[in-house]
Structure 1
Amino acid sequence: MKIRSLSRLIPVAAAAAALSLFGSGLATAQAATGSTGTPTSAPFTFDDWGTCPVGDPDVATCATVLVRSGTATIGSLSVPLSDGALKIAGGVKYVFGDDGSFSQVFVPAPGTRKGVVSNPISVPGGVFGFEGPLGLSSVTVTLEPVETPTIDLFTFNLKLPVRMKLSNALLGNNCYIGTSANPIRLNLETPNQNGNDAEAIGNHPGAVFRAIPHNDRTFAVPGATGCGALGSLNWAVNLRTGTPSASGSNAIDTVSDIYNVGAYDVPTQA
């Protein structure tokens, strides 16, 4: 394969940002006290281009995707997504084959899980839908990608298999919805690929595209695994989240900001 760097500015698939919406949805599974989707850590922000692997000469475009708002529906549950709960960051290579084929290869930011950085999201009501004594039922959910995203910069579509880790003393350290072998396969698309005006990013090189909408109505959600001793609490997690949930019973709608720049405009990090 031959690789050629392209210098044009192309907005990365903001759809990637919708991933955090899904994670927030599971995490906030509408407790009796209400759902806020509040992350347990500071919200992610745009932090310049230090996350772009510009040391790779074949990376043509740098991009950062930030989730700003959204809604996830899993089965009968409809939940909000908080601003800044997830960030996607990295670069993109454009690959031309000798047979005339063309592909786009996402290059994750160094030090991240395949370019996806997710805050733990607190679950109001905890594992069982009510707050237990000493906080024993409190739980957080973190998004974990199991493969590198597949991104189409021209249609803004993105595919990403993910799993959700639920953290709680009662659930143990291996409680997941989705696994590496049976992940949640998100196929995220934007209904509006045109008409989005770019803005300057303050004193930083590049531009930002605001309020990019994306959605997916096709993904299925597996049941919980590894929750509690020998999976003894899988049923409780499934009851709280409405899983497993077949394709057609789930939905994601999100709004994200996309920051991008030609990699040639970004200084190589020392």
Structure 2
Amino acid sequence: MSHRSTSRTRLAVVCAGTALATFAAVGTATAADPVMNGSWGPFNRCPVDAAELLAANGVEQTPQCVVASSPGGTFKMGRITVTTGKVNVQFGAVQNADGTTTTVGPAGGAIKADAVTVPGGLLGIMCPSEVPVISAICEDLLENNTLNKITATVESAGSPRDFNQYAAIVAGEPIVTVPIKVKLKNPFLSDSCYIGSNSNPILLKTRNAAEPGFNGAVSLGNGTPVPEGEPGDLTTLSFGGTSLTDNTFAIPGASNCGLFGAIDLAVNLKSGIPAATGNSINLGNAKTAVTSLYDGSTVYPDGGQAFSGYWHSGVTG
């Protein structure tokens, strides 16, 4: 059998394994996020019905919703640098009287991000290679470049933690730790090909690159604004006009890429991962917002339940 025929056989085995993995991973579509009224608008994924938030009494424990978003930026992992699309992070928080903070992510994960195209595609992150099964793929990619495209999508790898509300209004202090993993998608990669995992995540600790602008507003429980100086049910603090950055995180190696992880090593070697240092993220034109029960004279003995009811009253579609 010729070298080319042997390569084709190996290639067929990889593709067959990929097809089976992809078929097994097909699931039902998730429901669309709700549309929210007024000040609730940015908080459409807040886990207000999580047990931790519902149990907050509004006195010793104050329930909050937190969101950070960016229209785009850059993300460097080892020798890979991608241009990010829209990124949105949401979670619930309980500010405790002893100064600690309890955080909880939405059931679907705290982070949502647009899929982005990896520069150079699969050729760029694993070719050339002296490993026969990898070189076979590289040869085929050179002949059929339509198979080269690879996309990367950031996904949650655990609930956010270490939320520091004060850090949202200053520069250089980590605001929150967000565990993530990056899914790589290409016909030659299995449907479970990731950089990072739930057990070994990338830990982003983003901070304001400069002191952000600040705005505060009061609204009724359903999110409808009230005139300045009048009491309401919710207080929303918004910060923006700067970038969210971090260059302190490590990048784990790729895993489960190709049949039985056959492509892991090639991806790791060419991409320069695992990488303990030299990684960075910069999310431009970022906006952060926090909403909580109005902190005026109103007392909320069942604060968490009231907060949940307000959120649900703000759903418009």
Give TM class, smaller chain: 0.5 to 0.7
What is the rounded CA distance, in whole Å, between the counterparts of 2:65 and 2:273 in structure 1? 36
Kindly provide the amino acid, as one letter, of the partner of residue 51 in structure 1.
R
Identity across the alignment (%) = 26
After superposition, the Cα gap between the structure-2 partners of 1:240 and 1:120, relative to the gap in structure 1 and judged at 3 Å, is farther
Does 2:200 match 1:182? yes
Kindly provide the amino acid, as one letter, of the partner of residue 169 in structure 1.
P
Aligned-pair CA distance for 1:138: 2.4
After superposition, the Cα gap between the structure-2 partners of 1:225 and 1:218, relative to the gap in structure 1 and judged at 3 Å, is same
Answer 1 or 2: which has greater strand percent. 1
Instruction: Give the aligned partner of residue 303 of structure 2.
Output: none
Instruction: Give the aligned partner of residue 172 of structure 1.
Output: 190
Instruction: Give the aligned partner of residue 17 of structure 2.
Output: none
Does 2:165 match 1:122? no
Equivalences for residues 128-147 of structure 1 within 5 A: 128-129=123-124, 133=144, 135-147=146-158
Deviations along 1:181-208, whole A, 9 cap, x unmatched?
Answer: 322222323343x45222769x865453
Deviations along 1:191-244, whole A, 9 cap, x unmatched?
Answer: 43x45222769x865453222333222211122111111222123322553322
Instruction: Give the aligned partner of residue 269 of structure 1.
Output: 312
Greater mean deviation of Cα atoms: 207-216 or 174-183: 207-216
Contact 1:128 1:240 in 2 (8 A): no
Instruction: Give the aligned partner of residue 95 of structure 1.
Output: 96
Q: How many residues align?
A: 217
Contact 2:84 2:114 in 1 (8 A): no
Contact 2:118 2:151 in 1 (8 A): yes
Q: 1:112 aligns with which of 93, 108, 111?
A: 108
Deviations along 1:57-109, whole A, 9 cap, x unmatched?
Answer: 42622222111332333334444323x2x21123211123xxxx421122323
Q: 1:198 aligns with which of 215, 232, 246?
A: 215
Over alpha carbons, which structure has the higher Rg? 2
Q: Which runs of 5+ in 2 are unaligned?
A: 1-32, 57-61, 125-140, 169-174, 226-235, 295-306
Answer 1 or 2: which has greater helix percent. 2
Q: 2:259 aligns with which of 210, 229, 242?
A: 229
Q: Which runs of 5+ in 1 are unaligned?
A: 1-43
Equivalences for residues 16-31 of structure 1 within 5 A: none
Kindly provide the amino acid, as one letter, of the partner of residue 101 in structure 2.
Q
Does 2:150 match 1:149? no
Q: 2:241 aligns with which of 197, 204, 211?
A: 211
Q: 2:282 aligns with which of 214, 230, 253?
A: 253
What is the rounded CA distance, in whole Å, between the counterparts of 1:234 and 1:219 in structure 2? 21
Kindly provide the amino acid, as one letter, of the partner of residue 143 in structure 1.
V
What is the rounded CA distance, in whole Å, between the counterparts of 1:116 and 1:77 in structure 2? 21
Instruction: Give the aligned partner of residue 28 of structure 1.
Output: none
Kindly provide the amino acid, as one letter, of the partner of residue 257 in structure 1.
K
Does 2:85 match 1:71? no
What's the secondary structure of 1:154's corresponding residue? Answer: helix
Instruction: Give the aligned partner of residue 13 of structure 1.
Output: none
What's the secondary structure of 2:72's corresponding residue? Answer: strand
After superposition, the Cα gap between the structure-2 partners of 1:244 and 1:258, relative to the gap in structure 1 and judged at 3 Å, is same
What is the rounded CA distance, in whole Å, between the counterparts of 1:131 and 1:104 in structure 2? 53
What is the rounded CA distance, in whole Å, between the counterparts of 1:50 and 1:181 in structure 2? 28
